[in-house]
């Protein structure tokens, strides 16, 4: 998400020290953290016969399960029919019941939370069951097993002619940012970072890890952004299980929803692969919009979309000018690796 604070952060960058690791209350950045809540083991993706499920952790043993007819988003879901279940951790099992009552999209209370804008969603069925030992059991032999999808471009090596922006060895290509000497990851520590170089037309690969913040909702849940030439924000956010709106992960901020919500669970490594062509100008006026194709975790979520205007929090120079790539911190501890770009 963009903010006025991003502008001030730009001017403050030369004065900041990124050597010290910051702490973020109620936030977990490592799946192996011994302090991570027990809830974390149950959240994630599950698959079964002609059905997929995404289990969203809502803090203190509360969950919402989204059942997708046909399979997971981008992997079989019919794009229409969903069912919602409420979950409560009881010992080492999550008891599941049909979501009911008055519910609102992303409400703070688990009893009022809905992962769909419309409640109940289209195709909703009153399933009950439980989660235990990596299995969602819904009765009558309907079981879904936990799965961990991996992006087909995860770990993709920079091709010949690419500019390596980050490979775990240093932050020389960046203004700001912290290299964690133990993990060899690039950390925002909550502040925006930008490339020292400027770009125009390109293909770019980025791998990112969203923090686990189960008590947060909406824009508070691991907020960041992947700014193309610091003009157009492709949102980074823990939007796992949600609608894929323009202010959620993959959305072109405030302009276009994702064609499908391809966001993986928090603390899962994810990929962006972007083909970008800058806007064109003539005699100082824009004559052609910027165009973008975005793959989130290997799934096309924007296909040759023409971006009609800049998004908020971007640099002041007009469209059509080259600019740096920006990874937004926005008060959240984002981690990145394997970043490279091929100029066209």
209 contacts 269 by C-beta, under 8 angstroms? yes
Angle at 296 between CA 294 and CA 300, to 5 degrees: 55
Q: Any idea which of 22-31, 61-70, 304-313 has the lowest mean pLDDT?
A: 22-31
Structure tokens at 192: 């925006």
One of 1.10.3470, 3.30.70, 2.40.128, 1.20.120 is the CATH number of 38-147, namely: 2.40.128
Domain ranges of the chain: 4-21+151-343, 38-147
Q: Does the pLDDT value for residue 14 go beyond 70?
A: no
Question: For position 18, what pLDDT does the model report?
Answer: 38
In the chain, what percentage of residues exceed pLDDT 90?
90
Please report which confidence band the pLDDT of residue 21 belongs to, taking 50, 70 and 90 as the band edges. low
Tokens, residue 25:
């209350």
Please tell me the class of the 4-21+151-343 domain. Answer: mainly beta
The whole-number pLDDT of residue 25 equals: 67
Phi, psi of 54 (to 5 degrees): -125, 120
Distances (CA, A) of 274 to 210, 294, 295, 334: 19, 5, 6, 19
Question: Is the model's pLDDT at 4 over the cut of 60?
Answer: no
Segment 171-192, tens digit of pLDDT:
999 999 999 999 999 999 989 9
Could you tell me the end-to-end alpha-carbon distance of the chain, in angstroms, rounded to an integer? Answer: 28
Range with lowest mean pLDDT among 2-6, 9-13, 150-154, 339-343 = 9-13
258 pLDDT band (50/70/90 cuts)? Answer: very high
Which of 14, 318, 25 has the alpha carbon at shortest distance from 193? 14
């Amino acid at each position: 998400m963009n903010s006025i604070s991003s502008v001030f952060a730009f001017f403050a960058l030369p004065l900041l020290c990124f050597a010290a690791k910051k702490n973020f209350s109620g936030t977990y950045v490592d799946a192996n953290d011994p302090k991570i809540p027990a809830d974390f083991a149950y959240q994630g993706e599950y698959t079964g016969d002609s059905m997929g499920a995404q289990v969203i952790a809502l803090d203190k043993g509360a969950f919402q399960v989204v059942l997708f007819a046909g399979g997971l988003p981008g992997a079989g879901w019919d794009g229409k029919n969903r069912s919602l279940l409420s979950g409560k951790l009881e010992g080492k099992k999550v008891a599941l019941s049909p979501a009911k009552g008055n519910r609102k999209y992303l409400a703070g209370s688990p009893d009022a939370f809905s992962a769909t804008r419309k409640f109940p969603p289209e195709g909703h069925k009153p399933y009950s069951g439980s989660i235990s030992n990596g299995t969602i059991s819904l009765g009558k032999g309907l079981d879904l097993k936990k799965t961990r999808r991996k992006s087909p471009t995860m770990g993709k090596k920079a091709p010949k002619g690419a500019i390596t922006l980050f490979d775990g060895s240093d932050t020389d290509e960046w203004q700001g940012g912290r290299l964690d000497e133990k993990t060899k990851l690039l950390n925002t520590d909550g502040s925006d970072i930008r490339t020292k170089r400027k770009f125009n037309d390109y293909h770019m690969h980025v791998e990112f890890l969203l923090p686990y913040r189960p008590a947060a909702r909406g824009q508070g849940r691991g907020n960041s952004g992947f700014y193309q030439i610091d003009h157009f924000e492709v949102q980074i956010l823990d939007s796992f299980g949600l609608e894929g709106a323009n202010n959620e992960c993959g959305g072109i901020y405030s302009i276009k929803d994702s064609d499908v919500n391809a966001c993986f669970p928090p603390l899962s490594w994810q990929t962006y692969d972007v083909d970008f062509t800058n806007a064109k100008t003539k005699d100082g006026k824009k004559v052609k919009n910027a165009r973008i194709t975005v793959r989130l975790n290997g799934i096309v979520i924007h296909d040759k979309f023409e971006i009609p205007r800049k998004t908020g929090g971007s640099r002041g120079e007009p469209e059509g000018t080259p600019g740096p790539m920006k990874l937004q911190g926005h008060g959240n501890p984002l981690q990145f690796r394997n970043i490279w770009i091929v100029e066209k």
